[in-house]
Structure 1
Amino acid sequence: MGSHPLPEPVTPAGRAGLAALLERPERAVVALDFDGTLAEIVPDPDRARAHPGAVPALARLAPHVASVAVVTGRPAGVAVRYGGFAGRAGLEHLVVLGHYGAERWDAVTGTVRAPAPHPGVAAVEAELPGVLDASGAWQGTWVEDKGRAIAVHTRRAADPQGAFDALRAPLEELAHRHGLIVEPGRLVLELRPPGVDKGAALSEYLRESGAGSVLYAGDDLGDLAAFAAVEELRREGLPGLLVCSGSTEVAELAARADLVVDGPEGVVTLLGALADRLGGPVPA
C-alpha cells in the first residue's frame, strides 16, 4: 500500500484547521458521517457496509488523535455492525453517536446508552402506510424503521425525485401531527424528533473531549448542521476542517466544504494520508 499526499484545503479556515490537526494531533477529533462518507450509498440501506479500506485507515489514524467519532442518523448499534467497528485493534476508543446523538456507543464498554424513544415515532409508523397509499407516490419506496426515527427512501422508485417531491408535504403534515420533524436527505425523507441533530451532537462531544481541533466529513443535507457547528466553533477560535464526501446530489454541502473528496474512496484516501503524515504504520 503506497502513501498518498495530503490534499490542500481550498479555504484559509480549512488550511488552518488542517495545520492545527497536524501540529497537535493528540488534541484533534476526527468525526465522520457513515452513509455516503464511510460507506457507499446503496439502494437498500440494510445492505450498506463501510468501504473495505475505512476500518484499516481509521485503525491506523486513531492512535495518533484524541478520538474518532462516527456521527450518524442510524441507530448506533446498526452503524457499529455495518461498519465492522467492534473489537478492532486501534479503535479501542472509537465513539459512535447514533440517531443524531440520541444514542452513544463506546468501544471501551461495547454498550449503547440511549433515552426512551419519542412516542410520536410509533404513531407515525402506524399511520405511514395509509399516508403513502393516499399519496399515490408510494410504489418503489422503501420504509426503514430506525427505532427512533422512520425513513422513507425513494431511490428505488421509477421516478425517485418525483416520488421524493410528492411525498414531502404529506410526510411533513404527518410528522407535525405527532411532534416530529422531517429531515430531507439524498432521496430520503426522515421523520424524527426535533431538537437532535448532528451539529448539537458534534458540539457537545467536542466540548466534552476538550478538542483542540476538529475534522468533520459528511455528504448529505443532515451534515449541514454539523458543518454549521464547526463554522460556529471556528468563530470561537477552535480550528476545524470541513470535508465533503463529493456528491453532485448535495451541491450546498460541497460549496461550504474546505475540501471535497471523491466519495468514500476519497475519504479513505484522506484518512490514510493523515495516518501516513502522523506516523501510522502501513500494513503489509
Structure 2
Amino acid sequence: MQFSSMEGEHRYADLVRVADRTIVGLDFDGTLSPIVDDPTQAKIHPAAAEVLIELAPHIAAIAVITGRPARQALDLGGLEDVGDAIQAAGKELYIFGQYGNERWSSRQRRIVAPRPPRGLATFERDLPRTLRLAGATDAYVEDKGLAVAVHTRRLPDPQAAFERLLPPLRSLAERHDLVVEPGRSVIEVRSPGSHKGLVVEKLAAELDARGFLFAGDDLGDLEAFEAVAELEKQGLATVRVCSASQEQSALLPLSDIVVKGPEGVVALLRQLRLDITQGSATG
C-alpha cells in the first residue's frame, strides 16, 4: 500500500489504535471485485472472503456498501457464508445495497428495502428513445428493481458513449424526479435521498464507532469519502482508501492510502489485521 502523505500514515496508525471500535466499509465493484464486462459475472477477489473473516474479530464491524442490489452482492460474493463465519466470531457483516436503499446483516439475515421510486417505470419507458438518439442502442441496461443502470463497457468506444449518454440521461432522470450516479462506464438512475455517505454517517452513529476506514474506486464512492472526512472532524480516526485504476482518478486526491485494485485492497486488509494483532501483542 502507498500512503498519500505523512498525515495519511498518522491517520492509519490512529485507526489501528482504536481498531476494536472501527468499522471497515468497502465498495463492491472495483474494490472487492474486479470490474468485468458483464456485471452478472463479477466475483470477489479469491482471497477476500478469508481476509474478511480473519479481520472481523479484531474490529467493530464490516460493511459492504454498493450500488448493486444486496441480493446480487450476497450471491456473487458468497457473502452469506462470510457473514455466517463473522457472526460466529461474535461480529457482524452488513450489506447495504443500491446506495443504502437496501440493508442486510449477518444477524438479521433478510433484506430490508423500500418500494421502487415513483417515476422509475416511466423513465424505463422513455429510455430506449434516449439511447437511440445518443447512438447507444446496444448499451446494456440493467434493471435493479430500485434503479436502472446503463452500462457502456460493451460498446466499441465505452468512454465516448458514456460522455454522449450522460447529459441526456441526466435530463431524462430529472424529468422523472430521479438522480444520476455516474460510475466506471456505467450511469445509474435512482431515487434521490440516499447515497453511500448517509450509510457511513448512520452506521458510525448506530455502532458508536471511534474509527472508520472506507475503500472505494469511483465517483459513486465520493459521498462516502466526504462523510468519512466529516467523521474525522467529529474526532473519529479515519482512513480513506482508493482502489486505483487507469479508468478513474477522482478519489486519488482525497485518499490517505492508494492501492492497486481489489488485489491491493485485500493486501491492505491483511496488513491491517497484522498491524492490529501486533499492536495488541506489544501494547
Equivalence for 1:146: 144
Q: What SS does the corresponding residue of 1:41 show, helix, strand or coil?
A: coil
Tell me how far 1:170 sits from its aligned partner.
1.5
Which runs of structure 1 show a deviation greater than 4 angstroms over 4 or more consecutive aligned residues?
none
Are 2:94 and 2:106, in contact at CA under 8 Å, matched by a contact in 1? yes
Tell me how far 1:242 sits from its aligned partner.
0.5
Are 2:215 and 2:241, in contact at CA under 8 Å, matched by a contact in 1? yes
- Alignment of structure 1 residues 253-264 onto 2, 5 Å: 253-264=251-262
Kindly indicate whether residue 106 of structure 2 is the aligned counterpart of residue 73 of structure 1. no
Equivalence for 2:192: 194
For residue 228 of structure 1, what is the amino acid of its counterpart?
Answer: E
Tell me how far 1:190 sits from its aligned partner.
0.7
Match of 2:229 among 212, 228, 231: 231
> How does the TM-score come out when normalised to structure 1?
0.92
* Cα shift readout 1:7-36 (whole Å, capped 9, x = no counterpart): 463335433332232112110100000000
Q: What SS does the corresponding residue of 1:40 show, helix, strand or coil?
A: coil
For residue 124 of structure 1, what is the amino acid of its counterpart?
Answer: F
Q: What SS does the corresponding residue of 2:146 show, helix, strand or coil?
A: coil
CA distance in 2, matches of 1:73, 1:267: 18
- Alignment of structure 1 residues 148-227 onto 2, 5 Å: 148-227=146-225
Equivalence for 1:59: 53
Kindly indicate whether residue 19 of structure 2 is the aligned counterpart of residue 20 of structure 1. no
Equivalence for 1:107: 106
Equivalence for 1:3: none
CA distance in 2, matches of 1:185, 1:230: 20
Tell me how far 1:116 sits from its aligned partner.
1.5
Tell me how far 1:248 sits from its aligned partner.
2.2
CA distance in 1, matches of 2:36, 2:207: 33
Match of 1:90 among 55, 63, 85: 85
Are 2:123 and 2:173, in contact at CA under 8 Å, matched by a contact in 1? yes
Identify unmatched segments of 5+ residues in structure 2. Answer: 279-283
Are 1:247 and 1:254, in contact at CA under 8 Å, matched by a contact in 2? no
CA distance in 2, matches of 1:147, 1:110: 20
> How does the TM-score come out when normalised to structure 2?
0.92
Kindly indicate whether residue 43 of structure 2 is the aligned counterpart of residue 49 of structure 1. yes
Tell me the number of residue pairs that the alignment of Structure 1 and Structure 2 aligns: 273
CA distance in 2, matches of 1:244, 1:154: 23
- Alignment of structure 1 residues 116-131 onto 2, 5 Å: 116-131=115-130
Equivalence for 2:135: 136
CA distance in 1, matches of 2:179, 2:154: 23
* Cα shift readout 1:64-112 (whole Å, capped 9, x = no counterpart): 1000000101111111111111133532210011111111001112111
Equivalence for 2:281: none
Are 1:28 and 1:214, in contact at CA under 8 Å, matched by a contact in 2? yes
Q: Report the RMSD for the aligned CA atoms in angstroms.
A: 1.5
After superposition, the Cα gap between the structure-2 partners of 1:8 and 1:182, relative to the gap in structure 1 and judged at 3 Å, is: closer
Tell me how far 1:194 sits from its aligned partner.
1.2
CA distance in 2, matches of 1:103, 1:14: 32
> How much identity, in percent, do the aligned residues show?
47
More deviation, 61-70/86-95: 86-95
CA distance in 1, matches of 2:195, 2:27: 12
